[in-house]
Amino acid sequence: MIWIRADANETIGSGHVMRCLSIADALKRQGQQVCFLTADENAAGLLEARGQAFRVLHTDYRRMEGELEALEELLAGGGFFLADSYFVTAAYLDRVRERLPVGYLDDMGRRDLAADLLIDYNIFAEARLYEGCKAAEFLLGPEYAPLRAEFAGNACETRDRASRVLITTGGGDRYNLAGQLLEKALAHPGTACLEYHVVSGAYNVHLAELKALERRHGNLRIYSNVSDMCGLMRDSDIAVTAGGSTMYELSALGVPMVCFSFVDNQERIVEGFVERGLVGFGGNYLLQGEAMAAEAAEAIALLAGDRELRRTYSRRLRAVVDGRGAMRIARRIIQKSQEGAQSASQSAWQIAD
């Protein structure tokens, strides 16, 4: 069994669970059994919608060491344990590792974790970031971006005239950034006439406000519970997105982007893409506050009016992300699981002798 430990809620959004679901799908295509472990019921809807088996631990997602006792019996049968949470501690992984091999999906350059497999698919991930880290093996860089299978080999068309703009701010949008962006873009002379397609995440508490805005503007459509995100992305001429996994999905499709950040862990992702000349910069909400929306609107106008810039971004993005990262991760997890089973078998023989 491959166990995946991840949570989703209105505070942390759904990104951890969504990227792990891509890995789970790749594992299942390789004949593996997968079960998610979650602290509470908040992620149940996402997991059920994808037909994914899961167990609820009934614990506090912010205090993971408190669930170790509940994990003891579950993990006794071996396999592999993949954790994706900022609240994982070194002591937590050490305890789990006594039972079976462990992997950790990292965004923060953590060096304190003794994992068998450490995965960081970010644009800025490189070996020197993890100097001194006790992990046994590293999978680093965008070639390991864990995307769903439909994102591989499915590039969008870069049209001569930009008309459709996709806006996504993640699973939870506590600052109502989508609403702020729309207010500025719909009033900007260079962007007011574009079509806006806004994805409201599962934990967006501002959905009613977005719907009210939709009723006032004929060129605005709000989506929730999207079943074909890949198709919605491919139909877009420009995407406006927060830093995170969505950027790698858009990259694989070659959708020109304007990117912004509103939490600390997004800043390095956005900066990495901007520094490589892959995307337009839409601002940093932590530094700019509500002024960020105006900067993003200017960046949309620039990209909408420059066909060659959109083509350049599209070509560069597809060269960085090919959409096959989830399968690469799945294969290494399977190998680690098999190595762990062989090691356990050899230890059993030694005890018997």
Longest dimension (CA), the chain: 80
- From the CB of residue 230, how many other CB atoms can be counted at a distance below 10 Å? 19
pLDDT tens track for 95-152: 999 999 999 999 889 999 999 999 999 999 999 999 999 899 999 999 999 999 999 9
Please state, rounded to an integer, the average pLDDT across all residues of the chain: 93
- Buried b / exposed e over 240-273, threshold 16 CB at 10 Å, is bbbbbbbbbbbbbbbbbbbbbbbbeebbbbbbbb
Asked whether the predicted pLDDT for residue 353 surpasses 70, the reply is no
User: For residues 159 and 341, is the Cβ–Cβ distance under 8 A?
Assistant: no
Distance, CA of 2 to CA of 153 (rounded, Å) = 27
**In which residue are the tokens 């230890």 written?**
347
Give residue 346's pLDDT. 52
pLDDT tens track for 93-109: 999 999 999 999 998 89
pTM for this predicted structure: 0.85
| β-sheet bridge partners, residue 197 | 166, 221
pLDDT tens track for 171-229: 778 889 999 999 999 999 999 999 999 999 777 889 999 999 999 999 999 998 888 99
Domains of the chain: 2-149+323-352 (3.40.50.11190), 153-320 (3.40.50.2000)
- From the CB of residue 163, how many other CB atoms can be counted at a distance below 10 Å? 13
Averaged over 292-308, what is the pLDDT? 97
**216 compared with 10, residue with greater pLDDT:** 216
- From the CB of residue 216, how many other CB atoms can be counted at a distance below 10 Å? 8
Asked whether the predicted pLDDT for residue 26 surpasses 50, the reply is yes
At 47, which amino acid appears? L
Residue 277 Rama label (left phi>0; alpha psi -120 to 50; beta): left
Averaged over 280-293, what is the pLDDT? 96
Band (pLDDT 50/70/90 cuts) for residue 352 is very low
